[in-house]
Structure 1
């Protein structure tokens, strides 16, 4: 993201967002896990987005990217224009916010930021919260897939396994990775995948803000994920890997791509190699 093209950097804190609450170009989107949490208290002016609308919702892999028509309808209803600078946050450390920002990147809308720690940080700092739902002014937004390189699909992923300079990042739990917790027809992980659970990069004692970035980069490099690689990240439904995709962007990795089919696709097929 170019600093000249954006009102705010990719990663922002509560004070930075507070200073832009009255900016008409800033569109704040709350992707909390439940509507009840939004109603309990949200950043003033934030609109609520049900995370399920970030999925296509159709078999055989309902968690994949929505259709162009679905995306156009969604962002029109949210009142997003080409000039909007989107600030995304959630209540879980960045999974759903990351999924939203990846979706924006796919349609070429790179004017966006992530609120570090989300609503938990906002509340911890005693910032003003609203309990009144904010209704966006709908518009006409025509979406298109302008940045397909942010996504990797099953066949390409299979073809690249083991290639020099290519790595796979599994963001799931240890049990899912080693196959002891099975959430599809088959358990295990994509061959060569490096395991680094998504929550490891969050400071559990500091409202799920990102931990020290130098420490996180060091841990990732030790695990086998380096900033000069092309990295494909996945989880079960590209929710947790929404955060790891975003984390790679924040840390300055050369290329982080999301496998939105994730284990819901890979683990439910019989023609995909699996390790455990």
Structure 2
């Protein structure tokens, strides 16, 4: 299974016994209810992955990775198990299926793909939808974590001196430069010194599908990121950085993700902050 699959491919695979489809929609504000939208209409057989709850809720930072035990428990309850082929989609402007893809791979699931164009493309093509909730059967999901793709605050601080990894920031240019204040209280504006800016939204076509590999590479090149060298992605709270990680993966680069992102770095009084363009 490719990392990025088409609606046509998924329609042909829906009845496969090892395939699991997951709605990973998540919204950063309360104006939309992801669970309610899922129940109002989802791809047949799809289950809802609540990214707001599948996190370390004891951590004051938003959206931090949960423990491996919690993650495995939630996946088991959704019927996602060892040996499952998992296809993720979303209907979020944040393209949150990329965060879910990164989480699943971090916790040991490797046959994971994203549906190109999400449910919006599925609906636009007039394909079947289901409503309500799906009946779920628990499956075994092994407790496992591989942190090679996860970066911590200490590692990011060390990288300031070593410059071993290129840092690319998925936030908008105005947030990156500090022209626009951070929406979180007591959080400095600006960016990690030495980081480059590549707004996640620029990696998609107007219909929500991913841009071609050539166009994705051109976007990284224009941002000053050399994909032949190590990369770590950051953003506001670790969500849209997943878009950059997935795009890099499509281009053959196993980029890491700074989970705390600017919500951690920008609020920490001991970290240096840069303003203006990179």
What TM-score results when the alignment is normalised by the length of structure 1? 0.91
The offset of 1:239, in angstroms, is: 0.9
Q: Does the alignment pair 1:258 with 2:257?
A: yes
Cα distance, 1:110 vs structure 2: 0.5
Q: Which residue pairs with 1:130 in the alignment?
A: 130
3-state SS of paired residue (1:119): helix
| Alpha-carbon distance in structure 2 between the residues aligned to 1:31 and 1:197 | 21
CA contact (8 A) 1:53 1:74 kept: no
Which residue in the other structure is 2:3 paired with? 10
Report the counterpart of residue 198 of structure 1 in structure 2.
Answer: 200
SS at structure 2 position matched to 1:263: helix
For residues 54 and 121 of structure 1, the distance between their equivalents in structure 2, rounded to whole angstroms, comes to 26
Post-superposition offset of 1:219: 2.2
SS class of match (1:95): coil
User: In the TM superposition, what whole-angstrom CA distance separates every residue of 1:234-262 from its partner, at most 9, and x where no partner exists?
Assistant: 11111111211111111222x30001111
Confirm or deny: 8 A CA contact 2:72 2:143 kept in the other structure: yes
CA distance 1:174–1:37, change in 2 (3 Å): same
Q: Which runs of 5+ in 2 are unaligned?
A: 27-33
**By how many angstroms is 1:93 displaced?**
5.8
Residues 6-41 of structure 1: CA distance to partner in whole angstroms, max 9, x if unpaired?
Answer: xx2111000111111011101110012312221232
Paired residue secondary structure (2:151): coil
State how far apart, in whole Å, the 2-side matches of 1:201 and 1:151 are. Answer: 22
- 2:40 touches 2:132 (CA, 8 Å); kept in 1? no
The answer to whether the 8 Å contact 1:93/1:117 transfers is: no
Partner of 2:21: 28
Where 1:103 maps in the other structure, the secondary structure is helix
CA contact (8 A) 2:220 2:227 kept: no
Alignment of 1:88-107 (within 5 A): 88-92=88-92, 95-107=95-107
User: Contact 2:82–2:142 (CA<8 Å) still a contact in 1?
Assistant: no
Structure-2-length-normalised TM-score? 0.90
Indicate whether 1:234 and 2:227 are aligned: no
Contact 2:94 2:239 in 1 (8 A): no
Tell me by how many angstroms 1:164 deviates.
5.3
Counterpart residue number, 2:31: none
Structure 1 CA distance for aligned equivalents of residues 143 and 135 of structure 2: 21
Cα drift, residue 159 of structure 1: 1.0
Q: Where does the alignment leave 5 or more consecutive residues of structure 1 unmatched?
A: 1-7
Would you say the 8 A contact 1:176–1:183 is kept in 2? no
Name the residue aligned to 1:272.
271
3-state SS of paired residue (1:88): strand
Q: How many residues align?
A: 265
Q: Alpha-carbon deviations, 1:134-160, whole Å to 9, x = none?
A: 122113433221x21111111111111
Provide the secondary structure at the position in 2 that maps to 1:53: coil
